[in-house]
Chains A and B, each alone.
Chain A
């Protein structure tokens, strides 16, 4: 039974390994402090040799098989910590943890927009890394803007996982075709008031609310557009049945019939459950929307080398390693989830995935969804919109 599968998924889940923003954060912070203190306590030379490669990462890159493969190929040890969120990890680097970490992976805007200008990551040698882009899906052809600094002169990372991330419906209640056609207006429809949830990945929520308000999220807003955003934000947040940072809760709420759809979501939140046979959890990318006619948003994970004052060569080796078919396969299946990777252009890699796995990520629609989506970008007026969004959250109760 579907519900049992989700429940077992929930039960077996280690909360330290899922992106959650609450209680675990303090422990993680302490771990970070301890790591920082340990690193600071070592003499420089000794540290350079004995320090394991340190990853601040989403969970796919902490898959034990990946770490074992790295150890097998290089003999090197890896220490890792799983993100709580993009901004919290960027905060940690800002707070001085560049001395702790060697590798960080976050969504595309953060590398170019925040970490590079703040000097938190270092540039990659283009001659070594640009050839890797040639083996990826054509959209990533070098120079791929999101992997570059604003001025286009510096290569900031390696692209790997990518996906559209919009909303999820219960396909038994709302047909996928209808959902794609209706797009974000589903959440404007009074019939679904109190029937949807919000996954509080807050930067995503802000973009989605833009889409629902008919505003291009990545263009400068007029006051009239901001007013529309505000009206939509208040209404959407007020009418949400539940808001959580845990997508398993939202999937369960769909299965329990509490809600029929939720944003933000995509194969990232549904693939594992779909692989278990819960096929009525269906990721939707709208066919159209206000962003140059598109309604979907496409995230691209950028893997970067942290600007550690004591840089490890292994950091660059690791960035190259993850693009090899063996490693890319593990990343795609990282920790029980399943995500498309840029290296799927490689037929050898593609052949390793089963029909069921590809169905779980709705692979038959993948190119269509990417085509219907704009790339995750910096939101101009983000601070203003975010303040409106968070005020609406506070006003909810």
Chain B
């Protein structure tokens, strides 16, 4: 021990990680190998839950979750990029106010915000429909209780998680590199592709990962705005644990989601140079 003080100092963290990270994971994996609808951890292990996971239509909710996460990540990135550029250009002035306004909702319960959006989108007396009707005599329907509404909710909720890492990423693009590229004949599109995106890539990657992983675990958007027009994997897992009282199956689905997430996330994480992000 004495020869390796680093290990000694890291010990509390290692113990904490084992206790709060590794141990629950082991329990979840163990449960996933138990017979369906049992509550005890025994040595009677088997793969029947995983077989069910592939046989009983669980692929569909997983597919929806992945698709929703991918679409949300893509769309929030497309929306957050110009926002980040504008905020970065105007640093200090009204930008800090706008940034605060975008950040503020994070401190409000997600359900409350989604209910707010639900009231906004409601037909008839909803805020949007009612206002359009009262002011312009325009009658509109609603996207509430559709897949589109769930996606809109996901974008609305996760936008800040994309924006703030991206702000950091955009701040990593020195202005003179953009000018140099333009001076050398690059169109706006080429500047974006050749200079801005590569230089902001760490921020984009962090924002993308955050958004994607959070969206994979998202449930409330499909429940509150989507009217369950889609069933996401999180809702399915929750069903298994709660009303089905089938912990092993819930655990097996959880493990599958973790595996899929890890397969997507780890290659991306390896490309992030945190040092470079923090130095600037």
Chains A and B are bound partners: yes
Residues of A within 8 A of B (CB): 3, 7, 10-11, 15, 20-25, 85, 87-88, 90-91, 94, 114, 118, 197-198, 200, 202-203, 240-246, 249, 252-253, 255-258, 383, 386-387, 390-391, 393-397
Listed in ascending order, the chain B residues whose CB lies under 8 Å from chain A are 37, 39, 56-58, 60-61, 64, 109-112, 115, 118-119, 122-126, 142, 144-145, 147, 219-220, 223-224, 227-231, 235-236, 238-247
B242 contacts across to A, CB distance below 8 A? 21, 85, 87-88, 91, 202
Question: Residue on B with the closest CB to A397?
Answer: B230
Residues in chain B near residue A24, CB distance under 8 A:
109, 111
Tell which of B64, B109, B238, B247 touches A15, judged by Cβ atoms closer than 8 Å: B109
Q: Is the CB of B227 within 8 A of A243?
A: yes
The closest CB in chain B to the CB of A16 belongs to B109
Checking B119, B236, B247 against A390 with a beta-carbon cut-off of 8 angstroms, the contacting residue is B236
Asked if B61 and A242 make an inter-chain contact with CB atoms under 8 angstroms apart, the answer reads no
A-B contact pairs, 14 of them (CB 8 A): A21-B223, A21-B242, A85-B242, A91-B242, A118-B39, A197-B227, A202-B242, A203-B243, A241-B145, A242-B144, A244-B227, A256-B126, A396-B230, A397-B228
Chain A residues lying within 8 Å of B240, measured Cβ to Cβ, are 390
Q: Contact check: which of A85, A87, A249, A391 meets B57 at CB < 8 Å?
A: A391
- Identify B147's interface contact among A94, A391, A397, CB under 8 A: A397
Q: Are B231 and A394 in contact (CB under 8 A)?
A: yes
Given contacts A243-B228, A244-B224, A257-B124, contact A10 B244 (CB under 8 A): no
CB distance from B158 to the nearest CB of A (A): 13
- How many angstroms between the C-alpha atoms of A391 and B231 in the bound complex? 10
Given contacts A256-B124, A397-B229, contact A387 B223 (CB under 8 A): no
Docked-complex contact B145 and A242, CB < 8 angstroms: yes
Contact call B243/A249, Cβ cutoff below 8 A: no
Chain B residues within an 8 Å CB radius of A11? 119
A396 touches B231 (CB 8 A): yes
Q: Is the CB of A15 within 8 A of B111?
A: yes
Top 5 A-B pairs ranked by shortest CB distance? A242-B227, A243-B228, A242-B145, A202-B243, A22-B220
Task: Given contact pairs A11-B119, A241-B227, A393-B231, enumerate 12 new A-B contacts (beta carbons under 8 Å).
Answer: A22-B223, A23-B110, A114-B245, A202-B243, A203-B243, A242-B145, A242-B229, A249-B224, A256-B123, A257-B123, A391-B56, A397-B64
Contact partner, B119, options A7, A90, A386, A391, Cβ 8 Å:
A7
